[in-house]
């Protein structure tokens, strides 16, 4: 799970995961095209995502396609949900405070 959160800490990697959610099976070149990354930089990001188990890669000829792998994300979400009640209560208290302060 540490690798999952570490991989998700980078906005470029989160963007790649979002694109793969919307367009499954994109090639490495297709993923890199809209970003200002050269292929070596893109491969480093993909390696981090792969090492975290968030993606899989398959090769057909010279084309490498990338797919989401939902297992690690499900595990991270389950972990976060265990703590959701703590921040929900805090956010509720903050909202009540702001509303009360706004009335004065």
30: domain CATH number? 1.10.10.10
Q: What is the dihedral of CA 98, 89, 76, 32, to 10 degrees?
A: -10
As a whole number of angstroms, the distance between CA 5 and CA 27 comes to 24
Domain count, the chain: 1
What is residue 15's predicted lDDT score, i.e. its pLDDT?
Answer: 95
Q: Tell me the pTM.
A: 0.78
Radius of gyration in angstroms for the set of CA atoms belonging to the chain, rounded to a whole number: 19
Question: Would strands 55-60 and 63-68 be described as parallel, antiparallel, or unpaired?
Answer: antiparallel
Which domain range does residue 35 map to? 2-103
Q: Residues 6 or more apart from 100 whose CB is under 8 A from it? A: none
What is residue 103's predicted lDDT score, i.e. its pLDDT?
Answer: 67
**Element at 56 (helix H, strand E):** strand 55-60
**Element at 55 (helix H, strand E):** strand 55-60
What is residue 23's predicted lDDT score, i.e. its pLDDT?
Answer: 94
Which pLDDT tens digits describe the chain residue by residue (104 residues)?
Answer: 899 999 999 999 999 999 999 999 999 999 998 888 888 999 999 999 999 999 999 999 999 999 999 999 999 989 888 877 777 777 777 777 788 766 66
């Amino acid at each position: 799970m540490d690798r999952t959160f570490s991989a998700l800490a980078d906005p470029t990697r989160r963007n790649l995961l979002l694109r793969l959610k919307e367009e499954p099976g994109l090639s490495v070149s297709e993923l890199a095209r809209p970003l200002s990354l050269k292929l070596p930089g893109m491969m480093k990001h993909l390696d981090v995502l792969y090492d975290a188990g968030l993606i899989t890669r398959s090769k057909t000829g010279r084309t490498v396609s990338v797919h989401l792998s939902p297992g690690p994300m499900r595990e991270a979400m389950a972990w976060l949900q265990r703590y959701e009640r703590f921040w929900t209560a805090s956010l509720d208290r903050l909202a009540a405070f702001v509303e009360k302060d706004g009335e004065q």
